Amino acid sequence: MIGIFDSGIGGLTVASAVIREFPDCDVLYFGDTARTPYGTKSAETIERYSIENTRFLMDRGASIIVIACNTASSAATERLRAEFSVPIFEVITPAVKMALADPKSKRIGVIGTRGTIGSGIYEKKIKALAPDKSVVSEPCPLLVPLVEEGWLEKPETRMIVKDYLHPLKTRQVDTLILGCTHYPVLKGIISRKIGKRVRIIDSSLAVVEAMKEYMEEHPEVKKELGNQGRLSAYVSDITPQFSKIAKMILNRSVPLSKASSV
Ligand code: DGL
């Protein structure tokens, strides 16, 4: 079974990409809706939550873990890899590699939560692999609540996106990494506001590429991921709003069960 966790429900964008790529595998999703958002919390707290979330998924049979949340990927990957022996996928390195795969990428923009952008992780990883690239990062804290309110087509949302992207546009980025689970939902608006010539990197698609490569090299791991194509979703708190967003992201209803042990 593939275990995926996120700070909340936004990580279903990653679950949706995983299901598209591995339709036969069983997927177990955990959204930490009781403790969301992670984007405003300290790295130490996110690390602790991530350990609990991983344990929850492994106790229910997950044999690989995907950290769908960018904030948790930036704060907790090393600790999870030290603590657990299963393969742990995070969303940041694959997005960086995808951005750098095109030699025309010279100026890379990154948007994410305050936690992710404040950690400087994208910049560090990009500079480690390609010191000649320039990186422009911008936290966009209002985008998560706008998506969670379902304000996808409102003029206010378009205005806020435009405002956030202004510094990146001024610096003429040619590539833009969507460094947050929720941003793929706003991909259309983001692309229109930053300009159609800018290549958009969706970290949900990037992590799936990394998983695909790994499975090709480790067919024995793939065999342990189930073959019923089942999706089970747990959250640490159930609200009607979350069920609505889950449906919007996955294009179908998903029964959300309450996790009692996290
Ligand atoms: N899942 C978070 C991320 O991708 C966004 C929501 C939050 O702040 O918890 O960074």
pLDDT tens profile 20-45: 999 999 999 999 999 999 999 999 99
The arithmetic mean of pLDDT across residues 216-234, rounded, is 92
Compute how many other C-beta atoms are within 10 angstroms of the C-beta atom of residue 59.
10
69 belongs to the catalytic site: yes
DSSP, collapsed to helix, strand or coil, labels residue 242 as helix
List the structure tokens of 179: 């460094």
Q: Last residue of a domain, which of 203, 224, 249?
A: 203
How many domains, in total, are found in the chain? 2
The pLDDT score that the predictor gives to residue 36 is 94
- The parent domain of residue 238 ranges over 2-90+205-258
Residue nearest to atom 6 of ligand 1 (CA): 37
Residue nearest to atom 2 of ligand 1 (CA): 69
Can you tell me which residue has the tokens 């690239």? 133
List the structure tokens of 48: 């602790």
Strand 107-112: give its sheet, edge to edge.
134-139, 107-112, 175-179, 199-202
Q: Last residue of a domain, which of 177, 203, 229?
A: 203
Atom of ligand 1 nearest to the CA of 7: 9
Task: Based on the fold, state whether residues 104 and 58 are members of the same structural domain.
Answer: no
Task: Based on the fold, state whether residues 114 and 191 are members of the same structural domain.
Answer: yes
Residue among 96, 121, 180, 189 flagged as catalytic? 180
Q: At 122, which CATH number? A: 3.40.50.1860
Task: Based on the fold, state whether residues 253 and 165 are members of the same structural domain.
Answer: no
State whether the beta carbon of 116 lies less than 6 angstroms from ligand 1.
yes
Task: Based on the fold, state whether residues 150 and 216 are members of the same structural domain.
Answer: no
State whether the beta carbon of 29 lies less than 6 angstroms from ligand 1.
no
Atom of ligand 1 nearest to the CA of 116: 10
180 belongs to the catalytic site: yes
Task: Based on the fold, state whether residues 82 and 58 are members of the same structural domain.
Answer: yes
Task: Based on the fold, state whether residues 132 and 191 are members of the same structural domain.
Answer: yes
Lowest mean pLDDT among 72-81, 87-96, 144-153, 193-202: 144-153
Q: Rounded mean pLDDT of the chain? A: 95
DSSP single-letter state for residue 260: S
Cβ neighbours of residue 211 under 8 Å, at least 6 residues apart? 18, 21, 22, 64, 66, 89
Task: Based on the fold, state whether residues 81 and 98 are members of the same structural domain.
Answer: no
Instruction: For residues 67 and 258, give the distance between their C-alpha atoms in angstroms, rounded to a whole number.
Output: 20
Task: Based on the fold, state whether residues 67 and 99 are members of the same structural domain.
Answer: no
Instruction: For residues 196 and 80, give the distance between their C-alpha atoms in angstroms, rounded to a whole number.
Output: 38
The arithmetic mean of pLDDT across residues 114-124, rounded, is 95
Task: Based on the fold, state whether residues 134 and 115 are members of the same structural domain.
Answer: yes
For residue 64, what are the β-bridge partners?
2
Instruction: For residues 3 and 15, give the distance between their C-alpha atoms in angstroms, rounded to a whole number.
Output: 9
Q: Which of 231, 116, 212, 122 is nearest to 176 (CA)?
A: 122
Task: Based on the fold, state whether residues 124 and 191 are members of the same structural domain.
Answer: yes
Burial class (CB in 10 A: 0-12, 13-18, 19+), 43: middle
State whether the beta carbon of 8 lies less than 6 angstroms from ligand 1.
yes
Task: Based on the fold, state whether residues 158 and 212 are members of the same structural domain.
Answer: no
Task: Based on the fold, state whether residues 186 and 218 are members of the same structural domain.
Answer: no
Q: Last residue of a domain, which of 203, 232, 249?
A: 203
pLDDT one-digit tens code per residue, 145-201: 999 888 998 999 999 999 999 999 999 999 999 999 999 999 999 999 999 999 999
